[in-house]
């Protein structure tokens, strides 16, 4: 193909994209407009289920218009239903329109958000700070990152907790693994989300190290907890992690976070709070006081893709000390690009992923559209509620 042909082909492809993309955006707008007047959920027709399941690669590349037609006809109308105003499936919200819009731009940029001087990097740092500010969690640059969801964020946080606890007794889990290491113990509420247990299992600590927190009627029996910690220490184990929930799945309960923080501080444990959906409840002055203590957590998990309405996926791990994550995750191969002299380092040094999607644009757009500085100081709301 000559250069003129190549330029013509490129222009043709761009024109096809422009036409199809506009048609898709129009279709999405119509879909969202019509949604409230339709049933929340409609069973997938048998024929369509079979067709989708059995899709085969075609002989020829599809044209853009056909892709759009397929999406609008066969896919968009058959969603889970959580875009509907009458969907009451608890923590799965409709997507914010700003977030839907931002998803298109993020895909068009398609960066790997790890390091470098590009917009997505700085935007993720700002969004993580915004999230911390919204729920009243202290934040320093580097002390958090966006993840695929609350489960992934929990693994990130617990990896930090594991490294710190073992390093304190001279064990290097990165180098030596867990064989021969001290046995870490985790104190976990009975109602904790299953991702807590799964993270402990995946990190090689095992669910057998979980001790149930003595919580009754929403109160912590701190004496019983401290006795349990002392018994574990006496048996040679290493109490390491204390978990609280800021919004349990079944009852929506907020654990007594301040009392948990007090024990964690007194006993030198890593205090983790699962605020996946519930931490954003702190923005309501009527219940803000119940969240007192969240700001003392060593780590906090948030899920902007739950009550904030950010399109999936958008989870967030926040920590008091970014170095706790960096110590657990940093592994810099010679072929990886570095930010020389950057005090904070790359996102890959703080979590599981090397290639990272541009998650930040969706929460940025969603929060910028729905929140203002007025919403940002739950500490003040808590004070008002206490007064
Ligand atoms: C309280 C709580 N924690 C953690 C999670 C796990 O988050 P994700 O589904 O984003 O991995 C959920 C999910 O519903 C949850 O409700």
C-alpha atoms less than 13 angstroms from C-alpha of 194 in its C-beta half-sphere? 1
Residue 284 burial (CB count, 10 A): 13
Contacts of residue 140, defined as CB under 8 A and 6 or more positions apart, other chains included, come to 322
Tell me, in angstroms, the distance from the centre of ligand 1 to residue 150's CA. 5
pLDDT at 341: 57
Give the pLDDT mean for 68-78: 96
What is the structure's pLDDT at 88?
Answer: 80
pLDDT for 78-92, tens place per residue?
A: 998 889 988 887 788
Structure token digits, residue 34? 């019509």
Whether the CB of 151 sits within 6 Å of ligand 1: yes
Centroid of ligand 1 to alpha carbon of 209 (angstroms): 21
**CB of 255 sitting under 6 A from ligand 1:** no
Report which protein residue has its CA nearest ligand 1's atom 5: 150
253 lines ligand 1 (CB under 6 A): no
What is the pLDDT, as a whole number, of residue 5?
85
Mean pLDDT, residues 63-86: 94
Q: Which of 63-67, 183-187, 272-276, 340-344 has the lowest mean pLDDT?
A: 340-344
Q: Are 99 and 343 in contact (CB under 8 A)?
A: no
For the chain, count helices (H), then strands (E). 13, 9
Q: Is 147 close to ligand 1, i.e. is its CB under 6 Å away? A: no
Cα distances from 215 to residues 1, 106, 160, 268, 287, in angstroms, run: 73, 44, 26, 20, 20
For residue 127, what pLDDT is reported? 98
Is the Cβ atom of 150 under 6 angstroms away from ligand 1?
yes
Per-residue pLDDT band at 314 (split at 50, 70, 90):
very high
- Segment 101-155, tens digit of pLDDT: 999 999 999 999 999 899 999 999 999 999 999 999 999 999 999 999 999 999 9
Rounded mean pLDDT of the chain?
A: 93
Distance 78 CA to ligand 1 centre (A): 24
Asked whether the predicted pLDDT for residue 386 surpasses 50, the reply is: no
pLDDT score recorded for residue 340: 53
Structural contact between residues 370 and 96, judged by C-beta atoms closer than 8 angstroms: yes
- Ligand 1 contact, 307 CB (< 6 A): no
**Cα-Cα-Cα-Cα dihedral sign, residues 89, 91, 357, 161:** negative
91 lines ligand 1 (CB under 6 A): yes
Task: State yes or no: cis peptide before 103, omega within 30 of 0.
Answer: no
What letter would DSSP give residue 301?
E
- Is 20 in a helix, a strand, or coil? helix
Span 173-224, pLDDT tens digits: 999 999 999 999 999 999 999 999 999 999 999 999 999 999 988 899 999 9
Instruction: Say if ligand 1 is within 6 A of residue 149 CB.
Output: yes
Residue 275 · residue 157 · CB < 8 Å: no
Q: CA 129, CA 23: separation in Å to the nearest integer?
A: 36
Asked if 377 and 136 touch (Cβ cutoff 8 Å), the reply is yes
- The atom number, within ligand 1, closest to the CA of 313 reads 10
């Amino acid at each position: 193909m000559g250069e003129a042909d190549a330029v013509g082909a490129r222009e043709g492809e761009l024109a096809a994209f422009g036409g199809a993309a506009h048609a898709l955006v129009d279709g999405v707008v119509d879909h969202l407009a019509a949604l409230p007047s339709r049933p929340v959920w409609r069973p997938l027709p048998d024929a369509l289920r079979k067709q989708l399941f059995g899709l085969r690669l075609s002989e020829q590349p599809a044209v853009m218009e056909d892709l759009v037609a397929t999406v609008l006809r066969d896919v968009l109308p058959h969603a889970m239903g959580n875009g509907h105003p009458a969907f009451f499936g608890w923590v799965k919200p409709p997507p914010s329109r700003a977030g839907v819009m931002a998803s298109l731009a993020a895909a068009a940029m398609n960066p790997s958000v790890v390091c470098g001087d590009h917009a997505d990097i700085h935007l993720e740092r700002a969004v993580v700070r915004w999230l911390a500010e919204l729920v009243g969690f202290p934040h320093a640059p580097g002390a958090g990152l966006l993840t695929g969801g609350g489960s992934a964020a929990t693994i990130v946080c617990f990896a930090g907790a594991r490294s710190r606890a073992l390093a304190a007794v001279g064990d290097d889990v990165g180098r030596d693994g867990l064989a021969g290491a001290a046995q870490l113990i985790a104190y976990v509420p009975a109602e904790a989300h299953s991702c807590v247990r799964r993270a402990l299992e995946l990190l090689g600590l095992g669910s057998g190290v979980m001790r149930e927190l003595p919580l009754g009627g929403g109160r912590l029996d701190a004496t019983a907890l401290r006795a349990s910690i002392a018994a574990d220490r006496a048996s040679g184990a290493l109490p390491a992690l204390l978990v609280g929930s800021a919004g349990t799945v079944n009852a929506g309960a907020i654990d007594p976070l301040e009392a948990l923080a007090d024990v964690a501080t007194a006993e030198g444990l890593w205090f983790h709070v699962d605020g996946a959906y519930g931490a954003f409840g702190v923005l309501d002055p009527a219940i803000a006081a119940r969240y007192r203590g969240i700001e003392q957590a060593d780590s906090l998990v948030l899920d902007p893709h739950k009550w904030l309405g950010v399109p999936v996926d958008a989870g967030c791990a926040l920590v008091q000390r970014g170095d706790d994550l960096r110590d657990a995750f940093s592994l810099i191969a010679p072929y990886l690009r570095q930010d020389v002299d950057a005090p904070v380092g790359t996102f890959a040094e703080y979590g599981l992923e090397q290639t990272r999607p541009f998650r930040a644009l969706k929460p940025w757009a969603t929060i910028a559209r729905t929140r203002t500085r007025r919403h940002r100081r739950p500490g003040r709301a808590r004070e008002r509620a206490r007064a």
